[in-house]
Amino acid sequence: MNCQSGLISAAFNTFFAWTCAYAHSTAYCRLAIAALHDHVPVLHLLSELKSLKPDSHRFCVAPMMEWTDRHCRTFLRLISARAFLYTEMVTADAVLHGDRLRVLGFNAAEHPVGLQLGGSDPARLAEAARIGADWGYDEINLNIGCPSDRVQSGRFGACLMAEPALVADCIRAMADAVCVPVTVKCRIGIDDQDTEESLDRFVDTVADAGSRMFIVHARKAWLDGLSPKENRDVPPLDYDRVHRLKTRRSDLAIVINGGLASLPNAAPHLVHVDGVMLGRAAYADPYLMADVDRTLYGEAEAPLSRFEVLDRFIDYVQSELDRGVRLNAMTRHILGLFHGQPRARAFRRHIAEHAHLPGAGIEVLRHARDIVSGDMLGADAAEKTSAAA
C-alpha cells in the first residue's frame, strides 16, 4: 500500500468508526469499532456488518399501524425471545421533525427489532435511517407495500413498486448512511403489472442498490377501488410466486407474508424461503408464538406460560404507569393472550370495560388475572408440563 492510499484508508477507517459511534449501542457498530481496531479491511467489514444472520428472520411479526407500538413489542417479546419484531410504519418526516422519544423510543428488551420507514425522498430517508440506527434499531425497513390512499398521496408505500429506480435511489442512500441492514417490504405487484417480469425487475434493481432482504406480501395491491382492508383479503394469494423469487435469487433473503394464520400454516414455507411473517393472526392470538423459539430456532428452553407472561407484563405495566403512561395504551395489546382458553371472553371484557376509565390502575389487570384463573386452576403448571414435553 502506498502512502496516499494508506492515508485514504486511515481517514476512511476513522470516519467509519466516528459514524458508527453514533449507534454504539447496536451490535453492528460495536463490532465495527472493534474490528477497525484490529485493522479489518473496511470493505470486508461493511459486507459483514450489513449481512443478515441465516436464521435471523425465520419468524417475524409484521409492522402494523396503531398496533405494533413499543408496549405491544415488549409484550410479544415475553412470548418469543427470537421472533423479529417491527415498529409501526413511521414516515421519514415524523422522524426528522417529530417527537423522537415518542416516535422512536423503545425498550432494550425488544431486540431484535426493526424500524419501518415510509417515504420516497432519498435524502430524507437517509437521514431518518441514520437517526433510527443511532437509536439502536437492528434493521431499517422501507415500506413499499402499504396500499392506502393516504400513503399514496404522500408518494410512498405500494405505489412505489411502479418506480423501482426511485426505490433503488432511496435504498442506496439509506444503506450508505447506516451500519445496519436496510431491507424492503413489498407486494408481488400492483394493479395490472405482470407479476413475473415486474417483480423480478423491481427486486433486481433494488437489490443492486444495497438491500439483501425482501419481505414479500404474496398478493398484488390494487391501488384504485380497494380499501387497505380489502387489499389484505381480495387479491388472490400467490405463494408460489414468492417461492420462485427465492429460487431465482438464492443470494437474497426472502421472507413470505400474507394470509399466514398459524405456525403450522406458516412453517412449511420455510422449505422454500428464509422466513415467514405473520401480522393480524399473531396480534389476535399472540400465544401462538410460544412454540416459535423451539420449533423454528432450535431453542431448548420451554416458553413462559400464559400466566407467567401476564405476570411479567403486569410488572412492566406498573413501571410504565409510574411514568404516566395510560393503562389502556398497554392493556389493549394483551386481549388475545388467553385466546381459545376458558374464561378468555370474561378476561377481555373486564379489561375492555375498565382499563380506559379515569384513574384505572394495575388492579384492573390483577382482577382480570383472577377472573381468567377461576376456571384454569392448575393450568399454569399444566401448560409448563405440556410445553416441556
The alpha-helical segments, DSSP class H, found in the chain are 3-21, 27-37, 42-49, 70-79, 92-97, 100-104, 122-134, 149-153, 164-177, 195-208, 228-233, 239-248, 263-266, 280-284, 292-297, 306-321, 328-331, 344-354, 363-373, 379-388
Report CA 56 to chain centroid distance, whole Å: 11
Which residue is it, cell 412470548? 79
CB 221 within 8 Å of CB 145: yes
- Axis crossing angle, helix 27-37 with helix 3-21, rounded to the nearest 10: 150
Selected catalytic residue, list 146, 170, 179, 186? 146
| Nearest CA among 221, 250, 248 for reference residue 236 | 221
Instruction: Tell me the CA distances in angstroms from 178 to 69, 82, 99, 139, 381, one per residue in order.
Output: 23, 23, 21, 9, 46
Q: At what angle do helices 122-134 and 164-177 cross, to 10 degrees?
A: 40
CB proximity list for 356: less than 8 A, separation 6 or greater: 327, 328
- How far is it, in rounded angstroms, from Cα 388 to Cα 377? 19
Locus of grid cell 380506559: 356
Q: Does residue 146 carry a catalytic annotation?
A: yes
- DSSP character string of 95-143: HHHS-HHHHH---GGG-SEEEEEE-S-HHHHHHHHHHHHHTT-SEEEEE
Chain-centroid distance of CA 60 in Å reads 6
Give the cell for residue 38: 484490529
In our burial notation (b when 16+ CB lie closer than 10 A, e otherwise), range 181-201 reads: bbbbbbbbbbeebebeebbee
As a whole number of angstroms, the distance between CA 377 and CA 389 comes to 20
Q: Would you please indicate which residues are annotated as catalytic (active-site) residues?
A: 146
